[in-house]
Structure 1
Amino acid sequence: MMKKTFAFAFILAMPLLGTAQQLDSKQLLQDVQTLSADSMQGRRSGTAGSAMAQEYLLKRFKQVGLKPFGDSFEQHFKIDYERAQVPQATNLVGYIPGKSDKVIVVTAHYDHVGQRESEIFNGADDNASGVGALLAAASYFAKHPPRHTLVFAALDGEELGLQGANAFLENPPVPLDRILLNVNMDMLSINNKGELYASGTHHYPKLIPHVQQVKPLPQAKLLLGHDRPEQGHNDWTNQSDHFMFHKRGIPYIYFGVEDHPHYHKTTDDFDQVNQAFYPDAAQLVLNFLKQVDTNLKGKSLEN
């Protein structure tokens, strides 16, 4: 993830959705542990570790029941960003068909910053945690067919200037005018206050009622914030993949925790994951997806 530090927030009211956990916590944690293992070498774009992560994710895409667009889940692209040259980076994209021709795109980047000399930056929170939650949500909707078509994209190149999100939107699997919303997840698992932020409603206030339907869970609650220009580095608008959707006028909600001492450090390991908070945080995202899938109409969410 590319974000910075803390900001004010507003605790959301009007909780209406149920509290039962509908995801497999054991599998969720296993996905994060596997993706953040030393063997993945920090998952930097274009490396052998990235290829290993792709292999694992392709297996999991098939297991959870995602369908490819065409004959492959892979979307290849090149990265030329500052001093980073990656001849072939790879997004992994699948979908679950809905009854509507409108689309909700769920994203989480699987790349991280890799290795520096002998040190491995495993990126358990940033962003194996978001990918784990993406897989959990896909597994749920494969068993409970959605109203809208749901596209699930594990994106590459976020740490190199949001390149995977840009490549996805430059060569989208569905027409951009059919995309109602982007739900992006980046850092969901390390927080000791039980706080997960739903950022983006400052830009798209029509989404506030949908977020407000999501009831707090025992270990996690949603807060608004981190999306106002006057907040400077505490404004997360341009600090993860949702920004590329926002630039094109596609509404978004970004789920993430505030920065912590392990952000972009070698200590961002699976051992740091808050195993009480994280499953509830992932469930909050799933509950939001269920809410918007059921109730979001085909009208513009822009002001």
Structure 2
Amino acid sequence: MKKAFALTCILALPLLGVAQRIDKKQLLKDVQVLSADSMQGRHSGTPGNALAQEYLLNRFKEAGIKPFATDYKQHFSIDTKRAKVEQATNLVGYIAGKSDKAIVVTAHYDHVGQQDSLIYNGADDNASGVGALLAAAAYFAKHPPKHTIIFAALDAEELGLQGAKAFLEHPPVPLEHILLNVNMDMLSINNKGELYASGAYHYPQLKPFLQKVKPQPHAKLVLGHDRPEQGHDDWTGQSDHAMFHKKDIPFVYFGVEDHLHYHKPTDDFEQVNKAFYPDAALLVINFLKEIDANLAQPGTAKQ
């Protein structure tokens, strides 16, 4: 049995911020810029990836995210059978809370680059997650959280979750201070209005808080994709949250089911569901608000 955390469930409280609005124009602009042809598919170690970093560094500052030192950049190298990259880069900052205990919000900004002269722009995978991360940061910059919230735009997810691995090998705070990882990977293309929240099977104490997140007009939360018997449909190991799970850090992974544009050159901004995506981002923010208000100390077991 591994550690997880106890959550203080205050069921009498209403859901915080049901009517909370986000800047939809900025949210969509972030995805559009990150998935432009000029970014060349944002593959780790490429000029296009560096352009994405430059844009995100400015957006981190605008959103109110503070660096831990003088820089947001966490450099690391990759030397595996799958890839060799001399310098990959995570972008990491925080919004201070009243507690030194932290929630880590992650979304990878890299994608698969170019293949056979075709650019794989990765609008949904995962410019959409990064856009939502920035929207969450903008909210908490104006509404200071109870816990410190670390925002990490991770590199090299597509090369085997290497950015998450590097983050956890050299964390900006002690690992024992990290109470939860909220990971976003593909939030913007779903015509059924369904955003999945994965992780409550392993950490059932999260379930009441996920269930308190009320549907938006164009998006609702669906729990699942986290049971071992589901095979490929078990998402526990399929994005950066897997590295946190291996370190016994509880996680919630927000994402949509695979679609026709997944890892295809057609994953462009034009495919983004402009009604669903802002509401999906708002579901994540409302969960963050709820969990930040009621998160307690580690202490119970995960499955």
User: What TM-score do the two structures reach when normalised by structure 2?
Assistant: 0.94
Q: Distance in 1 between matches of 2:46 and 2:225?
A: 32
> Aligned pair in 2 of structure 1 residues 136, 106: CA closer, same or farther (>3 Å)?
same
Letter in 2 for 1:73: Y
Aligned match of 1:100 = 99
Q: Distance in 2 between matches of 1:83 and 1:27?
A: 35
SS of the aligned residue for 1:112 comes to coil
Equivalent residue pairs, number: 290
Cα shift at 1:107? 0.1
Q: Distance in 2 between matches of 1:72 and 1:49?
A: 20
CA RMSD for the aligned pairs? 1.2
SS of the aligned residue for 2:253 comes to strand
Aligned match of 2:21 = 22
Aligned match of 1:283 = 282
Tell me the alpha carbon deviations over residues 158-206 of structure 1, each in whole angstroms, 9 at most, x when there is no partner: 0000000000000000000000000000000000000000000000001
Q: Are 1:165 and 2:149 counterparts?
A: no
Aligned match of 1:177 = 176
Q: Distance in 1 between matches of 2:122 and 2:106?
A: 17
Q: Are 1:194 and 2:204 counterparts?
A: no
Cα shift at 1:115? 0.2
Q: Distance in 1 between matches of 2:250 and 2:186?
A: 20
Q: Distance in 1 between matches of 2:175 and 2:18?
A: 34
Q: Distance in 1 between matches of 2:253 and 2:223?
A: 10
Aligned match of 1:4 = none
Cα shift at 1:78? 0.3
Letter in 1 for 2:102: V
Aligned match of 1:222 = 221
Q: Are 1:249 and 2:248 counterparts?
A: yes
The residue correspondences of 1:1-303 to structure 2 (distance < 5 A) are: 16-300=15-299, 302-303=301-302
User: What TM-score do the two structures reach when normalised by structure 1?
Assistant: 0.94
Contact 2:42–2:110 at 8 Å: present in 1 too?
Answer: yes
Query: Which runs of 5 or more residues in structure 2 are unaligned?
Result: 1-13
Contact 1:182–1:251 at 8 Å: present in 2 too?
Answer: yes
SS of the aligned residue for 1:67 comes to coil
Q: Distance in 2 between matches of 1:109 and 1:178?
A: 22
Aligned match of 2:11 = none
> Aligned pair in 2 of structure 1 residues 83, 295: CA closer, same or farther (>3 Å)?
closer
Q: Distance in 2 between matches of 1:81 and 1:132?
A: 29
Identity value in percent: 75
Letter in 1 for 2:237: N
SS of the aligned residue for 1:243 comes to helix
> Aligned pair in 2 of structure 1 residues 236, 206: CA closer, same or farther (>3 Å)?
same
Contact 1:197–1:255 at 8 Å: present in 2 too?
Answer: yes
Q: Distance in 1 between matches of 2:30 and 2:299?
A: 35
Aligned match of 1:10 = none
Contact 1:207–1:301 at 8 Å: present in 2 too?
Answer: no
Q: Distance in 2 between matches of 1:45 and 1:227?
A: 28
Query: Which runs of 5 or more residues in structure 1 are unaligned?
Result: 1-14
Contact 1:199–1:225 at 8 Å: present in 2 too?
Answer: yes
> Aligned pair in 2 of structure 1 residues 277, 116: CA closer, same or farther (>3 Å)?
same
Cα shift at 1:23? 1.1
Q: Distance in 2 between matches of 1:260 and 1:288?
A: 25
